[in-house]
Structure 1
Amino acid sequence: MNISEIAARVRKASLVTACGAALATGAAVADDHTLTIGMSFQELNNEYFVTMQQALEAAADSLGAEVIITDARHDVAKQVSDVEDMIQRGIDILLLNPADTVGVETAVLAAREAGVTTVAIDAQANGPIDGFVGSKNYDAGYLACDHLAEQLDGTGQVALLDGIPVVPILQRIEGCTAALEEHPGIEIVTKQNGRQDRSHAMVVTENIIQAHPNLDGLFSVNDIGSLGALVAIEASGQDIKLVSVDGHPEAIEAIQRPDSAFIATSAQYPRDMVRVGLGLGLAKYWGANTAPAEIPIDVELIDRDMAVDFSW
């Protein structure tokens, strides 16, 4: 069974549980009240999150629900303000994609006080959330870096590009580090913040290559950062292998090039993630006390052979 089939089953189970809870408590699934769903994104300057937004809007439309979307632009203060504004506009369910796991707690507390059902999506959030749906990010880092070590025949210098202070990013670094440590011939020479940003990651990677002229491999915590790193690697003319996380269309395209330094990415499934998150939010909103607190979504390593048939 592939990840889409697994996610579909989880999604179906969540929605069935939600509907059952609504009927059991005498709640009407369709009444005069229009369900309002708010989703606060850490950013929308990334096709990964745009794909998630589109899937949410389609799912909400099928429910006859209203959707309010906000973009924090990686500013947690703006995200807190955005959530407070959505609460004032009367949202019933908040899907929260945190810009900062700790800093967003103020928004979570405000939502709880207002009686809003809150599900964290993609990244964990501090505070009294009702549920969390996200990728197995430790696995994502492990798979990518285990593949990198294998392609380096278990020896060489590797650098890590991390990102914003949210749990998924930390877990990807932990998974990557664990995989590399299984290969005694691999040396992690540096870890620097690429900010998950193409331009910044390019500059950071240029500096890493200059400081470590014998660099053999690089792991980036997301594909957008890796695409900037790829530019720096190609400009250097050095044989440096690159791995990442996400499954972004540009990354998949780059991986397919025969001469590309980009050799693999651990793919996430943003459409499934937000659909399952909405299902969990509905279950909690309608009173399904037995609905799970957390639903992990599998990841899959996409190398050059698999990239031909992969898309979000």
Structure 2
Amino acid sequence: MTAKHCFALALIASTTGLAAAAEPVIGLITKTEINPFFVKMKEGAQQAAKLRGAKLLTAAGKSDGDNAGQVTAIENMVSAGARAILITPSDSKAIVPAIRRAREQGVLVIALDSPAEPASATDALFATDNFKAGLLIGQYAKAALAGKPARIATLDLFPGHPVGIARHNGFLAGYGIAGVSPKTVGLAKHGDVVCMADSFGDQGKGQTAMENCLQKNPDINLVYAINEPAAAGAYKALKAAGKDKDVLVVSVDGGCAGVRDVRSGAIGATSQQYPLKMAALAVDAGVAYAKTGKKASGYVDTGVTLVTDKPMAGVDSRDTAFGLSACWGK
């Protein structure tokens, strides 16, 4: 091999190495791999990473609440050279030590969808304004009941989760319950709320919770559900009890199945959020940090829209045609 050939091969190797070094490594850790919300989030991250010339590492917990799986994913991504990690915390408190260790090694950490506790544990939060999401469906429900006394069931997430608290309290504030604000600690209570139950965001658990609420309070006429699977479970219980025409169900998410439930009338209205946008913006921020050292910080609101086919005066909304054009999942 001539000296010229050796130089050419060395140049190629050097160029390849520089290209690899210039490729930012971004990590995405979701709560699960099967929830359509997180599937869409992963899609948004993949699209943005491809567009920005970044390498995307992905991981997820085995189930919602799998903190150990998320901790392992953080450690693996740091070892693999991730300059930024985007995470939807399964346990907002227990994940904090792992996040702190990553940040101490110079990794930018952005929470997606829900904050860590405290929120300052991550560099930034890219998420829906969950209080506003609840507020919109609360305002809608108040207008839809048109002055009739409310007997409310709330199908919440699970104790202590910040997203569940924000949506629940936003709903009550939107309905007009005085003294409820984004600063309210824990789930707000009121005499109009005759049943509160945890659904864990699951259709089957939502159905069981609704059945239990109806046994205790058969006159319920308004149901707030933490998300559309829980709302679908509530509707199934209401239909089995012959009460589906008499009870208004409102929810949050904006997945395609949920928007179709709005179109069919099973759900009166839902607040739609945008996981693809959430992830894409966060990947952009991660790449910017990897290339320039500029850190994203604070809270970035990724938007929410009330979707219904039965609009109410004074409450901004879009119809299900819009909702289906922007939905996620099947």
Which TM-score applies when normalising by structure 1? Answer: 0.83
What's the counterpart of residue 246 of structure 1?
A: 253
1:161–1:193 CA contact under 8 A, matched in 2: yes
* 1:143 matched residue in structure 2: 136
RMSD of aligned C-alpha atoms?
2.1
The correspondence of residues 207-226 of structure 1 with structure 2, limited to 5 A, is: 207-226=212-231
**2:184 corresponds to:** none
Query: Given the alignment, which residue of 16, 24, 28 partners 1:35?
Result: 24
Identity of aligned residues (%): 27
1:113 maps to which residue? 104
Is 2:42 the partner of 1:47? no
Counterpart of 1:227, as a letter, is: A
Mapped partners of 1:232, 1:43: distance in 2: 27
Which of 144, 148, 155 matches 1:161?
155
The residue aligned with 1:14 is none
Q: Is the 8 A contact 1:144 1:264 kept in 2?
A: yes
Q: How much has 1:47 moved relative to structure 2?
A: 1.1
Offset, 1:136:
1.0
Range with greater deviation from structure 2 (241-250 or 201-210): 201-210
- CA 1:98/1:224 → structure 2, altered by over 3 Å: closer, same or farther? same
- Pick 1 or 2: higher relative contact order, CA cutoff 8 A, min separation 6: 1
Which structure has the larger Rg? 2
Which residue of structure 2 lines up, in the alignment, with residue 65 of structure 1? 54
- Once residues 30 and 201 of structure 1 are traced to their aligned partners in structure 2, the CA distance between those partners, rounded to angstroms, is 50
Runs of 4+ in 1 over 4 A off after TM superposition: none
Indicate the SS of the match to 1:213. Answer: coil
1:175 alignment partner in structure 2:
170
* Equivalence for 2:181: none
* Aligned partner of residue 90 in structure 2, secondary structure: coil
Aligned equivalent of 1:197:
202
Name the structure with the higher strand share.
1
Answer whether contact 1:37 1:67 (CA < 8 A) is retained. Answer: yes
Q: Which runs of 5+ in 2 are unaligned?
A: 1-17, 179-189, 311-318
The code of the aligned residue for 1:37 comes to: I
Q: CA deviation at 1:214?
A: 0.3
Residue 222 of structure 1 and its aligned partner are, at CA, apart by 1.2
1:2-60 deviations in whole A, cap 9, x for unaligned?
xxxxxxxxxxxxxxxxxxxxxxxxxxx96634211111111232211111111111111
**How is 1:264-303 mapped onto 2 (pairs within 5 angstroms)?**
264-285=269-290, 286-288=292-294, 291-303=296-308
Deviations 1:140-176 (A, max 9, x none): 0011122112212232201111114432221111111
Q: TM-score, normalised by structure 2?
A: 0.79
Deviates more, 1:194-203 or 1:147-156: 147-156
Q: Are residues 283 and 32 of structure 1, via their aligned partners in 2, closer, same or farther at CA, if it must alter by over 3 Å? A: closer
User: What corresponds to 2:88 in structure 1?
Assistant: 97
Q: What's the CA shift string for 1:228-283, capped at 9, x where partnerless?
A: 222112222112110000101111111111xx231000010111111112222333
Question: Cα deviation per residue 1:81-116 (whole Å; 9 max; x = unaligned)?
Answer: 222222222212100111121121022112112221
> 1:298 deviation in Å?
2.2
In structure 2, give the amino acid aligned to 1:143. Answer: L
Number of matched pairs? 280
2:88 paired with 1:83: no
